[in-house]
């Protein structure tokens, strides 16, 4: 009897152990999945652009510089005022120690009176034509000297435009070479930028440019390249490129710093992925590539960018699925839930 009881007891224990194992398997917790959005790497065209900074200037602009070290006696205009060519913006003290205004004026007035006298004498036959010519020459010299003296104390706008900068007030002491004011046209503007030597061959007159500046609420002004230098600046090693733009809406502020985005060339059949899909870790670009529902970190080599996409040079093939959103929560080998696959939960 005892020898038969042992196998029956063993069988019961085995059955109980089997039931317990099934219950443990059914209650096992599946690893948590990270919600991500993905995209399929594919070939496309890429417009390669670069951004350069430059100061906005009037299409026609005059910087007015002090030629005398004298007190500013009068300021006739304010910033934003419209002025005509020949209009006096500022007046310096004509009686100051460095001004020759009054001396030149006296010589001019004397020469004018003398010329009038000699013209009368010539008509009466009292002086020769040579004497009259000499006096006329002296008068013209005195007139030119007086005009130059007036231009030193009266700061005149050489063009029609707006006062875009005014750097002195009445009573200030001006110094020789000081930038007193700027007059320019705001309806059209120009921006000069320095282009890298490697890119200058792609820049051509007439190419369109996108211009933006801070404080313009992200508004973009379309411009075009008017000309490009063919020799580099010896100090910066950059090539000067002039950009012009219509500014009737006044979006670009003269004197402000603008950013010009220049389209250099187009890459065809480039393997493209979104910029936001790339992680840069210790200087090495990486993406998360999916194999089924598992994300694997892979190193890639990237090339040019258009501000939205990267060109992939190696490490990835067309048709492979990569994570775009949610990559910051991933580690190599983690399971994912792709929310933007057709038919899956959003």
Q: Is residue 22 part of a domain?
A: no
Residue 163 belongs to domain with CATH number: 2.40.50.100
Q: Are residues 201 and 129 part of one domain?
A: no
Q: Residue 213's domain is classified under what CATH number?
A: 2.40.30.170
Q: Which of 164, 182, 200 is the C-terminal boundary of a domain?
A: 182
In a domain, 27, yes or no: no
CATH code assigned at 300: 2.40.420.20
What is the pLDDT at residue 298? 96
> CA 157, CA 143: separation in Å to the nearest integer?
21
232 and 207, same structural domain?
yes
Do residues 203 and 256 lie in contact, with contact meaning Cβ atoms separated by under 8 Å?
no
In-domain check, residue 140? yes
243 vs 319: CA distance, rounded Å: 41
CA angle 238, 243, 246 (to 5 degrees): 165
Of the residues 147, 182, 217, the one at which a domain ends: 182
Q: How many Å separate Cα 68 from the centre of its chain?
A: 36
Residue 124 inside a domain? The answer is: yes
Q: What percent of the chain clears pLDDT 90, i.e. is strictly above it? A: 71
Name the domain boundary from 249, 267, 285. Answer: 267
Q: Whose CA is closest to 33, among 286, 341, 333? A: 333
Asked whether residue 55 falls in the same domain as residue 67, the answer is no
Residues 194 and 307 in one domain: no
Rounded CA separation 161/159 (Å): 6
Whether residue 68 is found in the same domain as residue 159: yes
Distant-in-sequence, close-in-space partners of 339: CB < 8 Å, separation ≥ 6: 35, 36, 37, 345, 346
Each residue of 166-198: pLDDT tens digit?
A: 999 999 999 999 999 999 888 899 999 999 998
With a cut of 50, which residues of the chain have pLDDT below it?
1-6, 9, 11-14, 16, 24, 345-346
Do 55 and 192 lie in a common domain? yes
Domain carrying residue 310: 34-45+268-338
pTM of the model: 0.58
Contact call for residues 83 and 183 (beta carbons, < 8 A)? yes
Q: Are residues 171 and 212 in the same domain?
A: no
Please tell me the total count of domains within the chain. Answer: 3
- Same domain, residue pair 275 and 295: yes
pLDDT number for residue 17: 52
d(CA 242, CA 256): 16
Contact 159, 62 (CB under 8 A): yes
In a domain, 209, yes or no: yes
- Residues 142 and 247 grouped into a single domain: no
Whether 13 is covered by a domain: the verdict is: no
26 domain-assigned: no
Looking at the structure, tell me whether residues 169 and 204 fall in a common domain: no
Please check whether residues 126 and 157 belong to one and the same domain.
Answer: yes
3 falls within a domain? no
Structure confidence at residue 21 (pLDDT) = 52
Whole-number pLDDT of residue 346: 40
Q: Are residues 150 and 297 in the same domain?
A: no
């Amino acid at each position: 009897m005892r020898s038969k009881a042992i196998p029956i007891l063993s069988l019961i224990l085995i059955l109980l152990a089997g039931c317990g194992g099934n219950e443990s398997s059914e209650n096992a917790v599946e690893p948590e999945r990270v919600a991500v959005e993905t995209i399929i790497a594919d070939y496309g065209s890429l417009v390669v652009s670069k951004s350069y900074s430059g100061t906005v200037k009037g299409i026609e602009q005059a910087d007015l510089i002090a030629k005398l070290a004298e007190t500013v006696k009068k300021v006739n205009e304010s910033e934003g005022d419209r002025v005509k060519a020949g209009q006096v913006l500022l007046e310096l003290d004509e009686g100051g120690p460095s001004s020759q205004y009054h001396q030149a004026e006296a010589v001019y007035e004397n020469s004018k009176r003398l010329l009038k006298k000699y013209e009368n004498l010539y008509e009466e036959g009292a002086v020769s034509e040579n004497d009259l010519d000499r006096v006329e020459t002296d008068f013209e010299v005195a007139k030119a000297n007086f005009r130059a003296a007036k231009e030193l104390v009266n700061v005149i706008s050489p063009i029609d435009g707006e006062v875009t900068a005014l750097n002195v007030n009445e009573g200030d002491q001006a110094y020789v070479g000081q930038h007193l004011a700027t007059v320019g046209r705001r309806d059209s503007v120009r921006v000069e930028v320095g282009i890298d030597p490697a890119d200058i061959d792609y820049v051509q007159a007439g190419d369109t440019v996108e211009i933006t500046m801070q404080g313009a609420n992200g508004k973009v002004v379309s411009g075009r390249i008017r000309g490009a230098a063919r020799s580099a600046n010896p100090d910066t090693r950059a090539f000067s490129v002039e950009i012009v733009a219509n500014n009737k809406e006044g979006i670009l502020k003269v004197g402000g710093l603008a950013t010009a985005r220049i389209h250099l060339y187009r890459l065809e059949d480039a393997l493209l992925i979104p910029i936001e899909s790339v992680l840069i870790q210790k200087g090495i670009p990486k993406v998360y590539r999916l194999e089924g529902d598992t994300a694997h970190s892979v190193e890639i080599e990237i090339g040019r960018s258009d501000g939205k996409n990267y060109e992939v040079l190696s490490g990835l093939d067309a048709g492979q699925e990569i994570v775009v959103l949610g990559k910051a929560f991933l580690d190599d080998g983690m399971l994912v839930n792709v929310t933007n696959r057709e038919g899956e939960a959003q």
